[in-house]
């Protein structure tokens, strides 16, 4: 199969800015949803709620793609729903490492 060279014009999407009901994104309501990642959200939900011993949630992806932010937001959502602060989360295959959640809900390696 021969490779096809694609120009920037062929691989980008354009939209009419007038089609939006806002001037800037600062006008939009805040959401803690993981934007555009419904499959990842379902996987996080499934993994966090799995109570079987030895079951782990393994989050992968390139650096800077929001993996840590996604987990932090999910933990914050759980904290809000349950009404109990989450102070630590076991991480690693045997939960041998710990992620501490500080007062600002930022994950810090321990």
The predicted structure's pLDDT at residue 54:
63
Neighbours of 1 (CB within 10 A): 3
**Does pLDDT of 110 surpass 80?**
no
Average pLDDT score over residue span 60-70:
80
Letter string b/e over residues 47-60, b meaning 16 or more CB atoms within 10 A of that residue's CB: eeeeeeeeeebeee
Note if the pTM is more than 0.75: no
The predicted structure's pLDDT at residue 19:
93
């Amino acid at each position: 199969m021969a490779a096809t060279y694609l120009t920037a014009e062929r691989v980008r999407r354009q939209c009419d800015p007038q089609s939006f009901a806002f001037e800037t994104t600062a006008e939009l309501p805040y959401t803690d949803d993981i934007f555009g990642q419904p499959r990842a959200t379902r996987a996080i939900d499934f993994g966090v709620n799995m109570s079987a011993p030895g079951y782990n949630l393994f989050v992968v992806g390139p650096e800077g793609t929001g993996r840590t932010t996604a987990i932090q937001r999910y933990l914050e959502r759980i904290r809000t729903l349950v009404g109990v602060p989450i102070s630590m989360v076991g991480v690693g295959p045997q939960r041998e490492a710990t992620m501490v959640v500080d007062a600002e809900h930022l994950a810090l390696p321990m």
